[in-house]
Structure 1
């Protein structure tokens, strides 16, 4: 049960009691003031500290804690715009992340999960078993998509051989996907193989979409869409449209690449979807700059966190 030391802040306490935090099973240590924060840290040695940056002593407390225990994760939460001097204090105190209130429980949960090394919703692991021509092989999987997969196999493979993948998402049953090795290239005693999938069944397509493109989850009154992978001009969002009802939160933290045409396709999708309102979490500055150049895109936003 991870220990979390936090300031006695009503918004923080309300969020930490929300549904997303229950699965983390945190032990909360609430400090009424800076002196109590120092004492609780010395006694309990929590893995994470979340301090109210509006407290005049918070920067000093953060700096002392990071000096004594560099491995302790430190998050500061500011309730107002920070001055240049305060931003320099943020940097000097060594905190790992700065959040700007107000924020949602989901936003705070994402930050806490990342700092504690816990999986966030939509980042669950999965296992893949590989057979080539009916024989199980030791293979490393990369570039998994709806069309195929790239494998690095421990033994020789020839073009045209059959492939069978067994995909088992964490907490779910396995699915099997058939394919064909369309190219193979020896490299450093192993073989790099490209497998093209046969026609996918509906269940297999849904699982692959969840693992490689997006995962849709209902979070209270909102729908949370965790986006993944590369977004280019070839990416199609048609299958996502029917689920875009009500208020949507898009989590962009797992988008690995997005070119300008991918941004345009994405913005066209948003214009077409009948969404009552949407928010982006963890979107990059390049994404914002690209989107701002697309016709019909009008938005307003608030920087809610800074982290590398």
Structure 2
């Protein structure tokens, strides 16, 4: 039974989410503020975390960054009444995998949670073909799909699950140009194509981690008006 940590300072919402998730078959843990969320995460090691943005002691953004440093692979879903684009971008930059604005539809929330858990379990298989499981090397960049590992100049690079999936998908097709819709359909699903997922934010975060000069990328390149490609 997957374990989900809910972090929200609003008791009524925590309780409502707990009921929804337990009825869906999940084990639930709850935190009333950001600092407690980090403490519970360290002790319980949940399979997925649902984070509110505005919390005392540590904000959802701060918790997101802390959890990413502890566990790069855990799916993080940010849940907030704030629907501004800047808040969504901040959450994604902090390491969130998805962002849902309150009030939300219960069924949609469950579908997003199921999708995040499924893609976590299928992270390696979802972005590599059965026939190509060997590492891809481009210059000093190496992407190893079996180890879910990325290295630059021999040094390991820490990526979130979604960042790794984007890079591994492109490494499996070096030189191919991927549009925004290509990446979203492959890694999130067609139902997310009209969502506010910001592929440029993910690309920027990946470049900051793998490029010597992110403003002049050697590996992850932009093809103006079309999309992105890895390598030449």
User: When you count strand as a share of all residues, which structure comes out higher?
Assistant: 1
Answer with 1 or 2: which has the greater Rg.
1
Structure 2 length normalisation: TM-score?
0.48
More helix by share: 2
Which structure has the higher relative contact order (CA within 8 Å, separation 6+)?
2
